[in-house]
């Protein structure tokens, strides 16, 4: 045991947040704390590290356990250059290093008679320094900073010049270099791009200490954690496994609890009915029996109704009209800001029913592409063409489409003036805004609440091309799943930018990666994208040029759209040929087997003419079968 949370409770002015929370963190655990917004996840982390005080209960730490905490928002208690701040996390090694250098400088002045003793001390200190990582900690600092998305040019930047997200990454780097017994990370990947998230996943998976994580990224949790603590209705329930394991177990647990509760309710209802009936008989014997049954009921430990949250967002997405097959064509578009080129000569097209995700590192221009398509920014060059009957619904990650000074009701009323007051209230209620909440100013809403308002407007748009910029940001896990379900049933076309890999895997059928000012296409979902990237990386390491392949770029740095389409058609043609050959092989094998049956018939066995005919036909079939086998192998090789 490294940390034990024992019957911890916490309330604020608005009411209780945590009630008698208990669980234990063991050495090497990778534990996720999950729950909807407002369930006390961040509060619990602050209680564990002592930044908040529990109302009751206690936190018990194991012997010599050290805690390292990454908050969502960083205070300004650090200053200096990025590299120096992270390096200072190992002040113990820096002090030992300075001591060793001082000893080395004194060696020339040591008396010959004291030299052996001096060198013994020096070697012991050197060995201790080496054992604690003194020979590698500087390279570790380099590796951690690069893993978190900083370049070597960034190392000398002053912390005061950085954005809030960059400061959080510096604080995380410092924490990882400290290597505490228990890492407590509150939304650690909010400010990381996909490459940095993947690096952090690998780092945490190999971390020798325990890790407690609050995060909404389900893919991240699937790859890192081995235990989940679910906070809901002020209580904590522990599950073994990653997020997907938890989801299955929770569903089964909820079903079991509901079944047990309903069974007990039926039993109690039946007993109460029998008791009433016995009392009605008004016989001494019947009354005694009734009293006996009452005692049995009084001893029953009554189950509470399972805490199933009835407040769920109700999202349905459906286009009002059907678009043409060609939805969007982007031809040779370019965009620069302040002499910095984001991208140039980008080409792609989208057809009806496709679900396309744009991926790429922060700052590469993904959001800009969406804004160019929707006309919110002007392109420097190129053409953007919408197909017949295409209507666009746009979701802005920063909710800049919302008017800060309007109430929720006014925002919906002005966007859809044809709707009456009752319809507007019903829509807002479907997105969990009821009563006087609909008259709150937009500026008072949290990020998650603003996201729900934007989704409500999107639902009413009836658009057949949805363009979404980070749609799952600020949404809790339940709301993300509701959005995924709505998009799964959506019959229009989808183009979006997202860092949420679980969401991408659930919704994307094609991926466009924006890197080095140009696009690379992957014809498949997120898992396919990862697999192909790894394959291409391996192939490029075997060749000097990293020559073009299905998703590789042409020499001039542009996505060769025509080549990619031709390659996709080639693969589809090979797969169709393979399917046809497999069917023919099955038919031929059946025909050969039928001739074998014919051989065994008496009327054939004594008919030499018929035997010769069947033998000739079977030999012909076997020759063709052999050709089909060879053809199938050739096709398999071509597709592998």
Q: Higher model confidence: residue 305 or residue 58?
A: 58
pLDDT of residue 550: 41
pLDDT at 564 over 60: no
Pick from 638, 625, 544, 616: nearest CA to 582: 625
Query: What is the C-alpha separation between 99 and 76, in angstroms, rounded?
Result: 31
- Give backbone dihedrals phi and psi of 337, rounded to 5 degrees, phi first: -130, 125
Q: How many CA atoms lie within 13 A of 592 on its CB side?
A: 15
Q: How many CA atoms lie within 13 A of 152 on its CB side?
A: 3
pLDDT at 497 over 80: yes
Contact at 8 Å (CB) between 514 and 369? yes
Residues 6+ apart with CB under 8 A from 180: 66, 67, 68, 209
% of the chain residues with pLDDT over 90:
49
Residues 6+ apart with CB under 8 A from 3: 24, 25, 48, 59, 60, 61, 62, 65, 67, 182, 210, 212
pLDDT of residue 103: 93
Query: What is the C-alpha separation between 289 and 272, in angstroms, rounded?
Result: 12
% of the chain residues with pLDDT over 70:
94
Q: Higher model confidence: residue 420 or residue 193?
A: 420
Query: What is the C-alpha separation between 385 and 521, in angstroms, rounded?
Result: 20
For the beta carbon of residue 74, count every other beta carbon within 10 angstroms: 19
pLDDT of residue 557: 37
Average pLDDT over the chain, rounded to an integer: 87
Residues 6+ apart with CB under 8 A from 449: 433
**CB-based burial of residue 640 (10 Å sphere; 0-12 exposed, 13-18 middle, 19+ buried)?**
exposed
- Model-wide pTM > 0.75: no
Q: Identify the band that residue 566 occupies on the pLDDT scale cut at 50, 70 and 90.
A: low
Highest mean pLDDT among 83-87, 541-545, 570-574: 83-87
Q: What is the pLDDT of residues 379-405, one digit of tens each?
A: 999 999 999 999 999 998 777 788 888
Q: Identify the band that residue 546 occupies on the pLDDT scale cut at 50, 70 and 90.
A: very low
When pLDDT is averaged across residues 529-553 and rounded to a whole number, the result is 64
pLDDT of residue 545: 44
Contact at 8 Å (CB) between 205 and 192? no
Among the ranges given (58-72, 415-429, 533-547), the one the predictor scored with the smallest mean pLDDT:
533-547
Question: For residues 135, 139, 145 and 151, what is the CA-based torsion angle, rounded to 10 degrees?
Answer: 150
pLDDT at 530 over 80: yes
When pLDDT is averaged across residues 217-232 and rounded to a whole number, the result is 93
Q: Identify the band that residue 353 occupies on the pLDDT scale cut at 50, 70 and 90.
A: very high
Q: What is the pLDDT of residues 577-608, one digit of tens each?
A: 888 888 888 888 888 888 888 887 878 777 88
Residues 6+ apart with CB under 8 A from 313: 430, 431, 432, 452, 455, 478, 479, 482
Q: Identify the band that residue 223 occupies on the pLDDT scale cut at 50, 70 and 90.
A: very high
Question: For residues 109, 110, 113 and 119, what is the CA-based torsion angle, rounded to 10 degrees?
Answer: -140
Backbone CA torsion sign across 145, 147, 151, 154: negative
pLDDT at 553 over 70: no
Core vs surface per residue 484-501: b (16+ CB within 10 A) or e: bebbeebebbbbbbbbbb
When pLDDT is averaged across residues 606-633 and rounded to a whole number, the result is 85
When pLDDT is averaged across residues 166-194 and rounded to a whole number, the result is 91
Q: Higher model confidence: residue 577 or residue 38?
A: 577
Helix then strand then coil, % of the chain, to nearest 5 = 50, 20, 30
Q: What is the pLDDT of residues 121-174, one digit of tens each?
A: 999 999 999 999 999 999 999 999 999 999 999 999 999 888 777 888 999 999
């Amino acid at each position: 045991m490294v940390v034990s949370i024992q019957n911890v409770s916490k309330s604020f002015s608005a009411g209780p947040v945590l009630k008698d929370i208990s669980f234990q963190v063991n050495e090497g655990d990778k534990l996720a704390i999950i729950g909807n917004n407002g369930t006390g996840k961040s509060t619990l982390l602050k209680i564990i590290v002592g930044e908040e005080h529990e109302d009751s209960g206690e936190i018990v730490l194991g012997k010599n356990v050290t805690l390292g905490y990454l908050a969502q928002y960083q205070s300004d208690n650090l200053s200096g250059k990025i590299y120096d701040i992270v390096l200072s996390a190992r002040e113990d090694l820096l002090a030992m290093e300075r001591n060793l250098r001082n000893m080395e400088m004194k060696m020339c002045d040591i008396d010959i008679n004291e030299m052996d003793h001096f060198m013994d001390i020096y070697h012991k200190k050197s060995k201790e320094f080496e054992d604690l990582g003194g020979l590698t900690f500087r390279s570790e600092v380099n590796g951690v900073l690069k893993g978190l998305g900083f370049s070597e040019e960034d190392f000398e930047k002053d912390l005061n010049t950085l954005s809030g997200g960059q400061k959080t990454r510096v604080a995380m780097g410092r924490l990882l270099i400290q290597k505490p017994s228990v890492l407590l990370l509150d939304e650690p990947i909010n400010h990381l791009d996909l490459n940095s998230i993947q690096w952090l996943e690998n780092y945490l998976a190999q971390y020798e200490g325990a890790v407690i994580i609050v995060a909404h990224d389900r893919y991240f949790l699937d790859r890192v954690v081995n235990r989940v603590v679910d906070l809901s209705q002020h209580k904590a329930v522990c599950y073994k496994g990653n997020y997907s394991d938890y989801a299955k177990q929770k569903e089964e647990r909820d079903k079991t609890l509901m079944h047990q509760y309903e069974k007990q309710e039926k039993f109690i209802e039946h007993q109460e009915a029998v008791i009433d009936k016995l009392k009605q008989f008004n016989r001494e014997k019947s009354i005694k029996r009734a009293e006996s049954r009452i005692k049995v009921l009084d001893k029953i430990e009554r189950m509470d109704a399972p805490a199933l949250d009835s407040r769920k967002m109700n999202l349905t997405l459906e286009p009002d009209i059907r678009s043409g097959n060609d939805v969007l064509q982007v031809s040779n578009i370019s965009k620069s800001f302040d002499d910095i080129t984001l991208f140039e000569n980008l080409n792609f097209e989208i057809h009806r029913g496709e679900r396309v995700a744009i991926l790429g590192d922060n700052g590469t221009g993904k959001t800009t592409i969406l804004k160019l398509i929707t006309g919110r920014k002007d392109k420097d060059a190129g053409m953007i063409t919408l197909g017949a009957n295409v209507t666009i619904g746009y979701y802005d990650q920063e909710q800049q489409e919302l008017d800060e000074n309007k109430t929720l009701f006014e925002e919906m009323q002005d966007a859809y003036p044809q709707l009456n007051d009752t319809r507007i209230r019903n829509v807002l209620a479907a997105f969990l805004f009821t009563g006087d909440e609909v008259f709150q100013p937009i500026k008072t809403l949290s990020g998650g609440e603003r996201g729900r308002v934007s989704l409500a407007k999107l639902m009413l748009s009836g658009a057949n091309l949805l363009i979404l910029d980070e749609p799952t940001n600020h949404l809790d896990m339940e709301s993300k799943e509701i959005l995924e379900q709505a998009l799964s049933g959506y019959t229009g076309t989808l183009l979006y930018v997202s860092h949420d890999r679980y969401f991408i895997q659930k919704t994307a059928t094609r991926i466009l990666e924006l890197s080095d000012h140009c696009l690379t296409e992957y014809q498949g979902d997120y898992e396919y994208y990862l697999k192909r990237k790894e394959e291409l990386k391996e192939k490029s390491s075997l060749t000097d040029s990293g020559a073009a392949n299905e998703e590789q770029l042409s020499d001039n740095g542009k996505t060769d759209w025509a080549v990619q389409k031709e390659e996709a058609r080639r693969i589809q043609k090979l797969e169709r040929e393979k399917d046809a050959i497999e069917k023919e092989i099955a038919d031929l094998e059946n025909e050969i087997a039928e001739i074998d049956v014919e051989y065994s018939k008496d009327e054939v066995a004594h008919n030499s003419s018929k035997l010769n005919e069947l033998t000739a036909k079977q030999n012909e079939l076997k020759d063709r079968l052999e050709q089909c086998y060879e053809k199938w192998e050739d096709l398999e090789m071509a597709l592998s």
